Amino acid sequence: MKIVVPWLRDLVAVPDDAERVAHEIALRGFEVASVDREPQPVIDFEITANRPDCMSHLGIAREASAIWNLPLSPLEAAEIPAGAADLEVRLEAPDLGPRYCAQIFEIDVAPSPSWLADRLQAAGVRPISNIVDLTNYVMLELGQPTHAFDLEKLAGRALVIRRARPGERLRTLDGIDRALDPEMLLIADAKRGCAVAGVMGGHESEISGATRLMALESAYFHPPSVRRTSKRLGLKTEASIRFERGGDVEAAPAAIARFAALLAQVGGGRPRGGLIDRYPSPRPRPEIRLRASRIALLLGQAVPDEAVERILPALGFEIARDGGAEATWRVAVPSFRVDVAREADLIEEVGRHYGFDRLPTTFPVLSAPQPPPPPSLTSERLVRQVLTSAGFSEASTFAFIEKDAALPFCAPGTEPAAIANPLSEKFAVLRPSLLPGLVDASAHNRKRERRDIQLYETGSRFGSGASAAEGRAVAFVWSGAASGPHWSAPTRLVDFFDVKGVVEQICDALGVAPTFTPAATPSLVRGRAAEVRTADGSPLGILGQLLPAIVEARGVPAADEVFAAELDLRALFAASAGDDKRVDPLPRFPSIVRDISMLVDDTLPAAAVRGTIRSAAPPTLVSIAEFDRYQGKGVPDGRVSLSLRLTYRAADRTLTDDEAQAATDTIVEALRATHNAERR
């Protein structure tokens, strides 16, 4: 918002130094974008969305009045009594347009005087004619947009505030035909639309040099309605910016009275007939109780009562002190302060102008020790430490993603949860998995000549349908080399078993014993995909190679084999041993090792072999390790030679060779009976 300092000085006698004015107002929570001195001193403020009252010279003047304890100069306003007018105004959608004022003027369209044109140019507005310029002047001065209609171009001399009809169109002032829908508020005459309420006027009813009778609109429109309409039409104007943030419902007649006074000042015309004010449900002014003790509690320091009674009235609040031992006030909130709804908001106003810099820097008093972090937070931190130790870098991707990126990771027959009002198609749905974002991050790195990529993320993912249940997960992707290059051996590319090993490390850190079974997941390569479960069969997640078509569609070369895994953190933590860790003492007795080589089907999972061995072995079997796998000469087709090392140990004695041999023979027989295995 560009504030012209001479214009501001008409309202309140601020200092001539524009830099000082900008600095003092900035200390009260306003960001200054720039300060220009030529041809007039102008301060450009960045106004936050919660302060629509300060998108005007009058709003900034109130702030300056409270800063320097100066009175506001009254603005000249014409007295226009209510009465008969040659204009019919019907308010048919009071939910979208709670208040609508209109006034007929006899006008003489001409160029604006130099003082008016100069001020508008300094504020960044191009002068057009005295009538249009005065509507812009009132908007910049009071913050209340107005719009002028050529009365002779209004069919039936009527203004009807209604919803647009299905299929209705309107050519706006910028010459573009726009399609409307019934959720949009339209200002129409007896036959057709004349303006999109709160956004832009219509081309057919605009005033021209030949206009002699004008109907001036000044209204309050429902902010969410203006915001939706502006977004759907892709049309943002100075009026819509103010209306969508929440205007002042009491400013509508005041803007017409101010316009009438300025019109008389420039000799451009005079009112004709009475003021039309359609306001079927007047809004009461909210009243808030303010306590001095609460001010001291929230600000950390007591504020003198006289300071409170000076600051709030200067900002437009009406304040009345209650009797009693404790200082308490009843504060009536002005209609232009749409951001003030509770006692804490009033305390913020007091703190801003009393000076946050005057408040002492202290630590809050603790009445109880800080609670420990939840176990899930500690466990999630441990998961991140494991992945970082394994060489992965943490990524942070968006929870809103493209629909095309999400679909391959949805369950069959489902679609991702859609965003009702997305910023763009790139943020159209909630992610059903963390993997789409990690794949895009891999593509980003790959395009920047990074061949070996290890990325992980912990975050929220969402289910499909209307509920879109949220859950925490950890996921990682790995492509390129399995380890760093070294002269002693050729570089080996990452494979399924590297990813499986990382999943096992995560589970081991949490005290979870995972099992792996082949999976038919739509996003993973068949035969290189597994489902991760707990020992009791509860699902934990998936791992495997992502389909080349999926990664290629996101920008990763199809030749790159991208392996990935995703685990449900809630299920993982539920299966975790938590802080109940088991520590076994070092063995006191020696172990006995037996190596066996078995011929088994080459499609038999190693986990099945291990399971059979565990079920047949005595408690003295303490470990199983595969140390060789051979296919080739001497091994029948469809078979594989699997060599395993079995380690036996008893906790209370030294085992004998006969005991170890008997256990081994039992295991070999179980493998033969269960898997048709043969000993080599």
Among 357, 383, 402, identify where a domain stops. Answer: 357
Q: Which two tokens stand for residue 372?
A: 């420990």
- Are residues 262 and 323 both part of a single domain? no
- Are residues 189 and 237 both part of a single domain? yes
Q: Which of 89-93, 493-497, 605-609, 624-628 has the lowest mean pLDDT?
A: 605-609
What's the rounded Cα separation, in Å, for the pair 204 and 180? Answer: 16
The answer to whether position 266 is within a domain reads: yes
- Are residues 33 and 132 both part of a single domain? no
The answer to whether position 562 is within a domain reads: yes
Dump pLDDT digits (tens) for 93-138: 999 999 999 999 999 999 999 999 999 999 999 999 999 999 999 9
The three-state DSSP-derived secondary structure of 594-654 is EEEEEEEECCCCHHHHHHHHHHHCCCCEEEEEEEEEECCCCCCCCEEEEEEEEEECCCCCC
The residue with tokens 């106003």 is 349
CB 142 within 8 A of CB 70: no
The answer to whether position 97 is within a domain reads: yes
CB 430 within 8 A of CB 417: yes
The answer to whether position 581 is within a domain reads: no
CB within 8 A of 660, min separation 6: which ones?
592, 594, 620, 648
The three-state DSSP-derived secondary structure of 125-138 is CCCCCHHHHHHHHH
* Confidence (pLDDT) at 419: 87
Q: What is the DSSP letter of 486?
A: B
CA distances from 345 to 111, 351, 430, 497 (A): 45, 10, 34, 59
Dump pLDDT digits (tens) for 513-546: 899 988 889 999 998 999 999 988 899 999 999 9
Among 278, 310, 331, identify where a domain stops. Answer: 278
- Are residues 121 and 198 both part of a single domain? yes
In degrees rounded to 5, what are phi and psi of residue 141? -85, -45
- Are residues 425 and 557 both part of a single domain? yes
- Are residues 181 and 274 both part of a single domain? yes
Among 524, 543, 575, identify where a domain stops. Answer: 575
* Confidence (pLDDT) at 571: 93
**Residue 242 clears pLDDT 90, i.e. is over it:** yes
Give the predicted TM-score (pTM) of the model: 0.65
Arithmetic mean of pLDDT, 545-562: 92
CB 188 within 8 A of CB 181: no
- Beta 470-479 vs 453-462: how paired, if at all? antiparallel
- Are residues 170 and 45 both part of a single domain? no
Identify the three-state secondary structure at position 172. strand
Identify the band that residue 371 occupies on the pLDDT scale cut at 50, 70 and 90.
confident
What CATH number is attached to the domain comprising 539? 3.30.930.10
The answer to whether position 463 is within a domain reads: yes
The CB-side HSE value for 221 (13 A sphere, CA atoms) comes to 33
* Confidence (pLDDT) at 580: 65
Dump pLDDT digits (tens) for 28-83: 989 999 999 888 899 999 999 999 999 999 999 999 999 999 999 999 999 887 77
More confident residue, 84 or 517: 517
**Residue 362 clears pLDDT 80, i.e. is over it:** no
* Confidence (pLDDT) at 125: 94
**Residue 148 clears pLDDT 90, i.e. is over it:** yes
The answer to whether position 370 is within a domain reads: no
Report percent pLDDT > 90 for the chain: 79
- Are residues 270 and 296 both part of a single domain? no
CB within 8 A of 296, min separation 6: which ones?
302, 303
**Residue 584 clears pLDDT 80, i.e. is over it:** no
Identify any residues that bridge with 328 across adjacent strands, giving them in sequence order: 291, 322
* Confidence (pLDDT) at 80: 85
- Are residues 303 and 396 both part of a single domain? no
Q: Which of 89-103, 220-234, 421-435 has the lowest mean pLDDT?
A: 421-435
Report percent pLDDT > 70 for the chain: 99
What CATH number is attached to the domain comprising 302? 3.30.56.10
Identify the band that residue 439 occupies on the pLDDT scale cut at 50, 70 and 90.
very high
Per the document, the length of the chain is 680
What's the rounded Cα separation, in Å, for the pair 220 and 232? Answer: 20
Q: Which of 344-353, 370-379, 490-499, 610-619 has the lowest mean pLDDT?
A: 370-379
Torsion of CA 12, 14, 16, 21, to 10 degrees: -130
* % helix, strand, coil for the chain, step of 5: 30, 25, 40
Domain count for the chain: 5
Element (H, E) at 273: strand 269-278
Identify the band that residue 326 occupies on the pLDDT scale cut at 50, 70 and 90.
confident
Arithmetic mean of pLDDT, 664-669: 94
What's the rounded Cα separation, in Å, for the pair 60 and 336? Answer: 13
Number of helices and strands (H, E) in the chain?
19, 30
Label residue 547 exposed, middle or buried (CB < 10 Å: 0-12, 13-18, 19+): buried
* Confidence (pLDDT) at 504: 95
What CATH number is attached to the domain comprising 165? 3.50.40.10
Dump pLDDT digits (tens) for 6-23: 999 999 999 989 999 999
Arithmetic mean of pLDDT, 375-396: 94
Arithmetic mean of pLDDT, 151-173: 94
CB within 8 A of 330, min separation 6: which ones?
287, 288, 289, 290, 319, 320, 321, 322
The answer to whether position 586 is within a domain reads: no
- Are residues 118 and 259 both part of a single domain? yes
What CATH number is attached to the domain comprising 648? 3.30.70.380
What's the rounded Cα separation, in Å, for the pair 615 and 668? Answer: 12
- Are residues 561 and 597 both part of a single domain? no
- Are residues 185 and 251 both part of a single domain? yes
Identify the band that residue 324 occupies on the pLDDT scale cut at 50, 70 and 90.
confident
DSSP secondary structure string for all residues of 431-481: -S-SHHHHHHHHHHHHTTT--SEEEEEEEEEE-BTTT--EEEEEEEEEESB
Dump pLDDT digits (tens) for 442-501: 999 999 989 899 999 999 999 876 556 789 999 999 999 988 888 888 889 999 999 999
90 CB neighbour count, 10 Å cutoff: 14
The answer to whether position 258 is within a domain reads: yes
What's the rounded Cα separation, in Å, for the pair 231 and 223? Answer: 12
Q: Which two tokens stand for residue 477?
A: 């992707």
Please give the residue range of the domain that contains residue 477.
Answer: 375-575
Mean confidence (pLDDT) of the chain: 92
